[in-house]
Structure formats: structure tokens, C-alpha cells
Amino acid sequence: MIRRPLRPLARILKARERGENPDAIERENLRLRHEENRDRARSRAEGRLLVLGGCFFLAFGAIGLKMGGMAGAPAEEPRASASGNPIIAQRADITDRKGRILATNLDTYALYAQPPQMVDPVRSAAELVRIFPELDEQELLEDFTGPRKFMWIRKQISPEQRQAVHDIGDPGLLFGPREMRIYPNGPIAAHILGGASYGREGVSSAEVIGVAGVERRFDAYLRDPANEGAPLRLSLDLTVQSAVEEVLLGGMNLLNARGAAAVLMEAKTGEIVAMASLPDFDPNNRPRPLTKGSPADSPLFNRMVQGVYELGSVFKIFAVAQGLEMGLIQPSTMIDTKGPMTWGRFRIRDFHDYGPQLSATDVIVESSNIGTSRIALMFGAEKQREFLGELGMLEPTAVEMIEAPTGKPLLPAQWSEISTMTISYGHGLSVTPLHLAAGYATLANGGLKVTPTLLHKANRAPGERVVSEQTAAATRAMLRAVVSRGTASLGDVEGYEVGGKTGTADKPKENGGGYYKDKVISTFAGMFPATDPKYVFVVTFDEPVETTGSIPRRTAGWTAVPVAAEMIRRTAPLLGLRPQVEGAPYEGISLAAN
């Protein structure tokens, strides 16, 4: 900006020549300068008013749009909120994959007393004991007549009990509304659901919180008002879960087992259709945790997720799969099975003498420890650990349960050559049965890693490839041969083409001093139908004994296998699988002409 000079020299000189007063020029220029400043200020003010008007227009337009949206929304009763941190009482339902209720809420009342307001404490105490026999009348009377101004009597009462207390007529006995968590199916899926209890409590509401299982794992989701009460849908099928638990309980009782566990899982998605652990409990009346003794003695202990065991020969298929994948063997490759196999002071023996050689397929069919060990030595400890890591055997499972991180596999302190040999046939590495199910699902679905899940979703991203489709198909054929002509022949269910592997592992002593001679963990893991598996399963028993013969039998072929067969026989129709006529193998067909 160029400022107007007040006394321009040229004009001053001319004015003096003409005899005019030069001060008039200065006054005129000063007046013009003031007018220019005024015009600039007015222009600047008009621009600011224009911008401010635009802002007001936009603000009122946004308010108008919001008011229009609110006017078009459905009417809703306003909710009063307490100051501070209010107690959130509502909790969403839990359903199975078909929407059937597994956990829901029931409106009930809590009973409390305000002794200063009581009219007849003696009569009230006597009447309360008549309604609630578990209460102590003398303790109630001491509380009612003592200095206490508030006390809980019962956290939950039935409508009949509420009416009976109301009939006492004492103004000091009051009721507070409650939301009670109930499990209408009783102990079915108890370990999965876990249970719920009360957190923060007030006289007008109480906080229902999860204490275990998916109730604890998804506690924030189930209590979040933003979900508008949308249920948590699990991958379980209630009817299949009930059938699995019924068959497993019958098998546990017949085999005099200390405990049992089973899982049925979709091979491609990893969705758990049924999962059970015995002994179980009723989450409506959840027992207290044990304070001493073994955790496995508690009905709260989930053997499928928390139980870490050496599972025995069910692991052999992983060693053979790795040998096939690395190109070290073929199904027909002959393996040296002469025994015993020695390594330092250790001796590895087979259950039977299978002769000097077996094919890789027959190593699985006959369950040869020596043959599996020799295959494992072909790829060594480092490759074995890497492969089992890819299968997810070295970390806790990622299943959506609060207990899952406690099921951490037990690895050898030093993964030596002897560890490689024993791990190949299921000793020296302890995992949960759910780890085993995930590993078998990887072979069943064509070689893609499977992560077990309890959530039901329409689309799941496939896992990373662990083995090729050719390797997976070869292992499935071997597992089918185990059932059709091997150690799991009692597991053959007509029309469902079951494939699987048995495992009988000596149970380690609790004090770490070796293994029991007469206590085992017996397991049967497999899939059906074997040519195109839809489901994988694992059935395991803790200390089973089959006593129908002349001598006690503890091997999985006599314990876990028949129970698994009955489980498949009961659940396959519920899963929508029709029995199929199994065709003859190609090598058994010959061309004939007349």
C-alpha cells in the first residue's frame, strides 16, 4: 500500500510560485488519506460480516437437519442416567448357531433389610427362617436388633418367596430388582459357558458379570448397551452338544474313567460344533474352586482346553505327514522296524513285533513306535519343531475362552534327538486335546492351518498352508486304513467312512517320578467322511479300564474308539450327513470279459 504524501514537494513549489498557502495542500491530502482509510475499514468489515453470516447459515442448517432427523426417528422413552458410574444391569443372551438359547436373563428380586425401620424384628426373623430354612434365626435377630442400618438377606428370591415375605408386613423388609442369569439347559455346555455372578450391587440394580468360559471372555460385549441386546451366537449346535455329552458320560461310566473329554469341529472352518469335559457342573449353581489337590479333580476343570497331556500314538500321523511333505518317504516306502531301537540308555519298543520292515502306511496302521522314530530321524529335531509350530502345537490355542491361555503346551527342556524320536509317537510333548483336533483338521481340509473357534460366522479366511493337498490326501488314506484294517477297527461306522488314529499314553505320576504302569490316557482322533472330511473329532479318557474280557484292557482301541463310533453314529444324522455306500478301492477292481 502506497501512502499519500501530505506535503508533495512539486505542488509546494508551484503553490509558492503562485503565491498560494502550502498548508492548504497538506490539509487536503490529510483529508483524502482519512477517507481512504475509512473506505478500506468499511470493506474489511463487510467481508467479515459476510463470513460470519455464512457460518450462521451453516450452523442453523445443520441444526435444522438434525431436528428433521429426530422428528423422523421412531419415538423412544428417554432413560434417566445416574451421575458418576452407573451400574449396567442388562446382559445379552448367548445362543447356539441356530439361535437356541444357551444363557439368558430372568427378572427377579433381592431381599434386604433396614433394621431401624422394622416394627417387629422377633416375628420377622422367625418368619424369614420359615421361608428360608437355611437362614439362622438367632443371627438374624442379632442383626435386626443391633446397630446395623442395612443388610442383605437373600440376593435372589422366587416370586413365591417374595410374596411370602411381603405377607410378613414389616416395613423394614424391602425388595430390590435384579436381573438373574440362568442357563435353561442345565449342565449342557457348562464348561464353554462358564457362568456368571454379581459384581457391583445397589438396592435398585446389580451388575451381572461373567466368571469363566465365554461369559468371562465376552463380558464386555455382553454388557455393552451399544449392541442393543444383540445375542452372542456361538458355533455350538445344542442338539449335537447334548448327544456328545450323553454318549461321553455313558462311556466314562462304563470304562470307570476318572474323566473324559470330546470335541467335534468343522474341518474347514474350525468352528466347534460340540465340546465337552467330564465331570461337569450346573452353571446355575456353580461350585467353588478347589483350594487343594489336583485341579483335574474339580468339575470346573476343562480337560479339553486346560488339560495338557502326552497323547501318544495319535501324534504319529504328523511325523509321517512331515516325511511325505519333505519328499523323504512315500506311502509305500519300506521303513526299518527291527527292534528294540536303542539310543544310549533308552530303548524304543513296539507293542507287537511287526517284523523287519513295514511300509509307511503300515507304520500308521500298525502303530509302530520304531517305524515312526526312524521317519522322524530323517528330518531331525529342528525341522520337527518348525513343523509342529506351524500346526500350532507349541502355543496355547486361540479359542475364545478365558481358560485357553492356561492350556500351554509343555515342551522338552532340550529338543534333542531322543526327544525327536519320542515326540514322533506322542511322548515328550504335552498338548491339549483341542491342539490335536486343530492338527487333524489341518490334514482333513487339504493342508490349511485351522484355528479352533466358538463363534459362528458365515465366512472365515482360510489359514496358511502347512502341507500340500497331495500330502493331506495321503494321510487321510492312512487314517482310513487304521479304521478299516488297523487298531481302530471298532470305530468303523457303516456309511460314514471314518478315518482316525488311536493313542494310548502312560500317565505320568503327579510327583514327577516316572509313569504309572496301570494308568493311561487313551485317545481316538479322526475325521469323517475320510475321502472328503466335513468334521474332525477327538475323544479322550483319563484312566479308563474296559473290564468285559478276561483281563482289564486300557488301550484306546478298546476304550476311546467304541465311544467315538457311537458318538459319530448319534451325531452324524443330526449334522445332516446321510450314510453313503463306500466304493471299493481302485486297486481292488479288475477288468473281466466273457
Tell me the CATH number at 203: 3.90.1310.10
pLDDT at 586 > cutoff 60: no
Domain of 117 in residue numbering reads as 94-233
Q: Residue 89: pLDDT band by 50, 70, 90 thresholds?
A: low
Q: Is residue 157 part of a domain?
A: yes
Residue 584 lies inside a defined structural domain of this protein: no
Residues forming a β-bridge with 535: 266, 528
Q: 121 and 222 share a domain?
A: yes
Contacts of 162 (CB under 8 A, 6+ apart): 109, 111, 175
Indicate if the pLDDT at residue 199 is higher than 70. Answer: yes
The pLDDT of 51-75, averaged and rounded, is 84
Q: Domains in the chain: how many in total?
A: 2
pLDDT above 90 for 547: no
Identify the helix (H) or strand (E) that includes residue 211: strand 206-212
Work out the pLDDT band at 115, boundaries 50, 70, 90.
Answer: very high
Residue 576 clears pLDDT 60, i.e. is over it: yes
Of all helices (H) and strands (E), which one includes residue 319? helix 316-325
Q: Is the pLDDT of residue 82 over 50?
A: no
Kindly state whether residues 125 and 246 are assigned to the same domain: no
Same domain, 404 and 479: yes
Q: Is 101 helix (H, G, I), strand (E, B) or coil?
A: strand
Question: Taking residues 185-196, what's their average pLDDT?
Answer: 95
Identify the pLDDT of residue 3.
63
In the prediction, which pLDDT does 582 show? Answer: 60
Question: Span 448-461, mean pLDDT?
Answer: 87
- CATH number for the domain including 468? 3.40.710.10
Whether 380 and 316 map to the same domain: the answer is yes
Q: Is residue 255 part of a domain?
A: yes
Q: Are residues 299 and 347 in the same domain?
A: yes
Among 213, 233, 253, residue at a domain's last position? 233
Instruction: Retrieve residue 148's grid coordinates.
Output: 446395623
DSSP calls for 152-208: EEEEEE-HHHHHHHHHH--TTEEEEEEEEEE-TTTTTTHHHH-EEEEEEE-SS-EEE
What are the start-end ranges of the H helices in 187-280? 190-193, 213-217, 219-223, 238-254
Please report the pLDDT score of residue 292 as a whole number. 80
| 522 shares a domain with 427 | yes
Judge whether 569 lies within some domain: yes
Nearest alpha-carbon partner for 438 in 326, 496, 525, 500: 525
Q: Is 443 a member of any domain?
A: yes
241-436-568 Cα angle (round to 5): 40
Range with lowest mean pLDDT among 6-20, 243-257, 280-294, 469-483? 6-20
Q: What torsion, rounded to 10 degrees, do the Cα atoms 192, 193, 195, 200 define?
A: 120
Largest Cα span, the chain: 149
* Residue in the structure block whose three cell numbers are 446397630: 147
Q: Tell whether 417 is covered by a domain.
A: yes
Per-residue pLDDT at 6: 67
Whole-angstrom Cα distance, residue 563 to residue 561?
5
- Identify whether residues 408 and 389 lie together within a single domain: yes
* Judgement on whether residues 440 and 416 belong to the same structural domain of the protein: yes
The whole-number pLDDT of residue 80 equals 40
Beta strands in 486-582 (DSSP E): 499-508, 515-528, 535-542
Whether residues 397 and 543 share a domain: the answer is yes
pLDDT, average across residues 569-583: 87
Q: In the predicted model, is pLDDT for residue 12 greater than 80?
A: no
pLDDT at site 86: 57
Q: Is the pLDDT of residue 385 over 80?
A: yes
Q: What is the mean pLDDT of residues 57-62?
A: 90
Percent of the chain residues topping a pLDDT of 70? 93
pLDDT band at 588 (very low <50, low <70, confident <90, very high): very low
Give the integer Cα–Cα distance in Å for 276 and 249.
10
Could you tell me if residue 44 is inside a domain? no
Among residues 264, 235, 268, which one has the least CA distance to residue 441?
268
Q: Characterise 576 by phi-psi region: left (phi > 0), alpha (psi -120 to 50), beta (else).
A: left
Least confidently predicted of 196-205, 502-511, 564-573: 196-205
**What count of other Cβ atoms lies within 10 Å of the Cβ of residue 50?**
9
- Give, for 109, the enclosing helix (H) or strand (E): strand 101-113
What is the rounded average pLDDT of the residues 550-576?
A: 94
Which residue reads 476311546 in cell numbers?
560
User: H or E element: which one contains 346?
Assistant: strand 346-348
CB 381 within 8 A of CB 328: no
Q: In this predicted structure, what is the pLDDT of residue 78?
A: 44
Let me know if residue 526 belongs to a domain. yes
Give the span between the Cα atoms of 511 and 135, in whole angstroms.
Answer: 43
Please give the mean pLDDT across all residues of the chain: 89
Among 211, 233, 255, residue at a domain's last position: 233
Please state, in angstroms and rounded to a whole number, the distance separating the CA atoms of residues 456 and 99: 11
Q: How far apart are CA 478 and CA 330, in angstroms?
A: 12
Residues 248 and 194 in one domain: no
Residue 433 and residue 564 in contact, taking contact as beta carbons nearer than 8 Å: no
Same domain as 243, residue 166: no
Q: Which residue has the higher pLDDT, 270 or 516?
A: 270
Choose between 461 and 452: higher pLDDT.
Answer: 452
Residues 310 and 209 reside in one and the same domain: no
Q: pLDDT by residue (tens digit) across 135-146?
A: 999 999 999 999
| Cβ within 8 Å of residue 409, ≥6 positions away | 308, 393, 394, 395, 396, 429, 430, 431, 432, 435
pLDDT for 591:
43
